[in-house]
């Protein structure tokens, strides 16, 4: 997915500890726990019907940028988030 071609409308629900985007009627999400100033990413989910478009990447990047703006560190507990950090080393300074 080209970030410029079709941006996602991502909603951060701080009470539910989730980032969500609805794509073609399907809810895509990133869930986290917050302990003090450490965000633990616990789940990233994109339904198969809209998979392969880079949605998980955009959700994760947005969550990481929010965490950085809030001064949080990040613990990538889900496999997608762990892989994302390996591929996006410029955010390694945020790892808890």
- Residue 2 has what pLDDT? 38
Residues 6+ away with beta carbon under 8 Å from 82: 76
Q: What is the CA radius of gyration of the chain?
A: 13
Global confidence as pTM: 0.90
DSSP state of 24: T
Could you give the CA distance from residue 96 to residue 35 in angstroms, rounded to a whole number? 11
**Model confidence at 1: pLDDT above 50:** no
Task: Name all domains of the chain by residue range, CATH numbers in brackets.
Answer: 11-94 (3.40.630.30)
Look up residue 5 and give its two tokens. Answer: 């071609």
Give the residue from 33, 16, 23, 27 showing the smallest Cα distance to 67: 33
């Amino acid at each position: 997915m080209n970030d410029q071609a079709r941006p996602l409308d991502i909603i951060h629900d701080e009470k539910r500890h989730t980032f969500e985007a609805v794509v073609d009627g399907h809810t895509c999400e990133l869930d986290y726990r917050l302990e003090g100033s450490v965000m633990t990413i616990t789940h990233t989910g994109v339904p198969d019907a809209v998979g392969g478009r880079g949605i998980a990447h955009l959700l994760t990047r947005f969550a990481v940028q929010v965490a950085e703006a809030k001064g949080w560190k990040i613990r990538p507990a889900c496999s997608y988030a762990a892989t994302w950090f390996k591929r996006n080393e410029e955010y390694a300074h945020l790892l808890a």
